[in-house]
Amino acid sequence: MKRVHPGGPLALSPETQAPGTTAIGRRTFLRRAGSVAGLGLLTAGCGGITLPTFPGGGGTPTPGQAPLPGGFGSGPVRVALLLPLSAQGNAGVTATGLRNAAELAIADIAQAPVTIVPIDTKGTPEGANAAAQQAVGTGARLILGPLFSAEVAAAGRTAQASGIPVIAFSSDPNAAGANVRLLSFLAESDINRIVFYAAQNNRRSFGALLPESSYGVIVENALRQAVSRNGGQLIAVERYKPDNASIAAATGRMAAIAGGATPRVNALLIPDGASAMPAILNGLQTGRVDPQRVKLLGSGQWSDGAVLRQPLLAGAWFPAPDPSGFNGLSARYRTRYGGNPPRIASLSYDAARLAAVLAGLDQTNPFTDARLSSRDGFQGTDGIFRFGSDGRSERGLAVLEVQPPSSRVLQAAPQTFAGSGF
């Protein structure tokens, strides 16, 4: 039986895995310094992974706490899950998927020492504030969610007044801070990973084509820091509005730097999605940007079939979680609920498992800053993650290469944060 290296992350791997994935045998242990070093799982023969039984779990709520309708799990540590369950359109559908994924996480753990109670935010700041007040009133020790930035701000203020930590799902990095940590996929992790990999492969002269948006500003700030940290130079940044004329003008200006036989850059970041990609690629081709001389780099937005089918992106690199983790989660989700989960379902699944794991270590005071801020991090569905001092998530991502109409893993995701570019 192998042990996790003491510097490794706390494992939150699923109980079972999809066919074709590899089971990793691990045993539980805890570093005595007080922070979580790692929680491992045991392999049961060839039948996949069997999770440990947590001490004190299994179903008796704390005396004086009545079971709550709509909750799942029956452990003594109460956790609230704030989601826009009654919101119209895609928001409500996504919320249902997140709720189901959290329920699946608790079902995957034998005798989980938590009870998770979903509470509807209605998709508004006012609803999120009311939901957070309800969570406080019903004895929640931790809040998971909400989903939208304005909801997170409202719920976070209410939770902070009661000393309750929040692990939210917003992709707005500005929602983090104080008692709020973001588990979501953030641009900083994408940029750190792809710049680190490019620099390792002698690509240190960077250009960037960025949308004129708050996302573009976040990417540019992260890019400047990552390039400097990896001994590179950011030669040029061109920005564009979401129309073909603006994109053509920006790519033309970039082609003057990145095109021809002697380009001034050897790596070009294009962190946009499917709607802008055809116009960008056509503009670069017209400007004679040679992808053999200038490696095209992307972001997690490239994890989209419409992007991966672009023939001009063949050989380009982008960061993303290893797809095997989410594929395994999706298979179990379909078996239980009869449909496909939203891509961000892994956030809710991992948040619920993290709550259960920490409660299994200490039911008296499970969600301390020291545990939640462990620099060793946690092993989740999409690889290792941890929370920075600013509350934003940091993720260890794989590097993929575009091979239209799909992609392949070029470099596996790191197993620890040591030497991973952060």
Q: What are phi and psi of 320, to 5 degrees?
A: -170, 160
pLDDT tens sequence across 330-371: 999 999 999 999 999 999 999 999 999 999 999 999 999 999
Domain-wise residue ranges, the chain: 187-320+399-411
List, for residues 12-71, the tens digit of each pLDDT value. Answer: 544 323 333 222 222 222 222 222 323 332 222 222 222 233 333 333 334 444 445 578
For residue 318, give the H/E element and its range.
Answer: strand 317-320
**Rounded to two decimals, what is the model's pTM?**
0.83
Which residues of the chain, if any, have pLDDT below 70?
Answer: 1-69, 420-422
Beta bridge partners of 295: 267
Phi first, then psi, for residue 393 (nearest 5°) are -75, 145
Task: Tell me which architecture the domain covering 187-320+399-411 has in CATH.
Answer: 3-Layer(aba) Sandwich (3.40)
Q: Where do we find the tokens 């030669």?
A: 235
pLDDT of the residue at 110: 86
Position 34 scores a pLDDT of 28
Question: Helices marked H in 172-262 — which ranges?
Answer: 187-200, 214-229, 244-258
Dihedral class, residue 396 (left if φ above 0, else alpha if ψ from -120 to 50, else beta): beta
Closest listed residue to residue 228, CA positions, set 206, 243, 258? 206
d(CA 32, CA 380): 23
pLDDT at 8: 55
User: In this predicted structure, what is the pLDDT of residue 30?
Assistant: 25
The encoded tokens of residue 38 equal: 């790692």
Q: Which of 419, 413, 332, 337 is nearest to 380 (CA)?
A: 413
